[in-house]
Amino acid sequence: MSEAATAERLPLEAEQDPPNSAGLSAQQIDALNAEFADLHFEERIRRLYDHFAVDKVLVTSSFAATSAYFLHIIHRIRADQRVAFIDTGYHFQQTLEYKDYLSQLYGLEVFALKAEDWKHQFTVDDHTWEKNPDFCCSINKVEPLEAVKPNYHVWVSSLMGWQTDNRSDMQIFEVRRGILKFNPMIDVSREQRDAYIAEHELPFHPLVAEGYQSIGCTHCTVKGDGRSGRWAGKPKTECGLHL
């Protein structure tokens, strides 16, 4: 039988399913969304490990303003889950100290993802963050994460829908840039997050007390409410990791 004839016999769904490292079909992803829809976010995270082996789960943290919230939950549910930190080379010193503090506090095994030295140095010499912040983020954040995605079946994020317009329509499970993305907190409100932080007396990033509410790289972060302090004066609102 010719390749063309074989292709004609394939189910239409198979042709339309976006590729993802978990190898799941659109129907299987829809089934996961239905299964997880009415669960509390903590139960969603617990149940994730019924479907995926821990070594195939990618958890990332920026160790930014309220990262203790997400990491506290992960630690309580799955203490052996490793956490990836995307080291852009431009983090505030306070961010690195906060990372070390939370790692020790929760007993986290944290490993770094970073750009190749020569690529990062190019952005240093070029001041790429000033000329083309999207390109700078691509080199120092997006590419290092893209390189490890094939090693995992699912990527867990702590995104919440109220944070940006881009995040407001995300689903619990969805395919993003070739990997199955899991957003267990996407429907958690700011009030619910803050109540959890208060109940468990979780530590904020030290720069929060100085007026920073969203904390990224030193060159592209200023004080401000919400994400208004990120890429101030530019239309950019996302680093590109979650697009």
Residues designated as active site = 239
CB 170, CB 184: distance < 8 Å: no
Interhelix angle 41-51/26-36, nearest 10 degrees: 140
d(CA 21, CA 154): 7
Neighbours of 171 (CB within 10 A): 17
| CA-based max dimension of the chain | 69
Neighbours of 80 (CB within 10 A): 9
Rounded to whole angstroms, what are the CA distances from 190 to 63, 86, 187, 197? 18, 25, 10, 11
Residue 72 CB partners (closer than 8 Å, separation 6+) = 106, 200, 202
**Strand partners for 111:** 84
For 89, counting Cβ atoms within 10 Å of its Cβ (0-12 exposed, 13-18 middle, 19+ buried), the class is middle
Residue 84 CB partners (closer than 8 Å, separation 6+) = 58, 59, 60, 61, 110, 111, 112, 113, 145, 148
